[in-house]
Structure 1
């Protein structure tokens, strides 16, 4: 076989291998961020005062959402959508853990957080942190929070990151999910990760 024909055959074979590899990649609706270095371990307290780390959620698909209980729009919208996702998925949602991490630990006490997340789903877990552990978590997951005091008032709001991160069963950040993603899209992507 001439060298030119052999080279073309090898090139065609390589192209087919690439295409088959691409076709095996999950067809996520959300943004795949698995090639980034974000995420990793954390140390945050649950509403019972117990320290939770990433390893505590091994074997579950984990959704991390950063918000606060006084949020007028983004947080209740997102948690409400995730509540509908849980209902639609039924028993398979037991393989998913939603973590609501407060962006406002000053006002969001453990008891307030516990009551808040239970309004949406009893399986949702709220976490809070302070000090170096909290700052390390925000940095690792690229979450931002900025407090805005209302002039002449003790009331303040918190601007915060609005999307969710979804971690696979091994704890690796895989997806970024924007606000208003949609119940069917959530169900699609969570089922793909649960099947891995």
Structure 2
């Protein structure tokens, strides 16, 4: 009689064990399966890799690296405070995109790495960044540190002769003003590098991307 009572219990225990084992196998398979790549409007990579680190100084005079912002999504941009067009337009677009993205983007940081360290002191960067809101942080450094940062992201920058102002063109009546001879204009890319909370470079946002597309990419970046 006891053996008859034990049989159903043994079968139940066996089936319970099988179910638990099957569930464990399924869970392990789900965990091991590759996650679908995040969908961005900007340019993405086949596989996200750690973004290039740097050793710079923020606009409060503190030594910082990319690791200093670990845990927060980062939008990294190379520019300078005297830039007449690309920089203010890009920073305005990024800050509007953050507002459009909503609460999910509340801890996103916009890092402006200067291309003009001679004029972009920490104080000058702080004043400039304040025009666009608290999410913007200006970064500067010595020439070696800034060159390494640019190289790490493949940022395009070149100094080209500036066009003389109207009325200052040299027409053979004496030497042109010294400022015309030596003036250079810094030409640079307006792309923005989107880095996730773990420090991985996820997306390159193209220059002139519409605000709503940038906001979508910011939401995606912030949720990774």
Q: Place the TM-score, normalised by the shorter chain, in its bin.
A: 0.7 to 0.9
Assess if the C-alpha contact under 8 Å between 1:34 and 1:174 holds in 2: no
**2:150 is the counterpart of 1:138:** yes
Kindly state the Cα deviation for residue 182 of structure 1 after the two structures are TM-superposed.
1.3
* Largest Rg, 1 or 2: 2
Give the secondary-structure state (helix, strand or coil) at the position aligned to 2:103: helix
Assess if the C-alpha contact under 8 Å between 1:147 and 1:158 holds in 2: yes
Give the secondary-structure state (helix, strand or coil) at the position aligned to 2:109: strand
Alignment of 1:99-178 (within 5 A): 99-150=111-162, 152-153=178-179, 155-178=183-206
Alignment of 1:15-164 (within 5 A): 24-33=36-45, 35=47, 39-150=51-162, 152-153=178-179, 155-164=183-192
User: Do the aligned partners of residues 34 and 60 (structure 1) sit closer, same or farther apart at CA in structure 2, a change above 3 Å counting?
Assistant: farther
Count of aligned residue pairs for this structure pair: 176
Give the secondary-structure state (helix, strand or coil) at the position aligned to 1:95: coil
**C-alpha separation between the residues in 2 aligned to 1:26 and 1:123?**
24
Q: Which runs of 5+ in 1 are unaligned?
A: 1-19
**C-alpha separation between the residues in 2 aligned to 1:60 and 1:38?**
14
TM-score, normalization by structure 2: 0.72
Give the secondary-structure state (helix, strand or coil) at the position aligned to 2:128: helix
How large is the RMSD of aligned CA atoms in angstroms?
A: 2.1
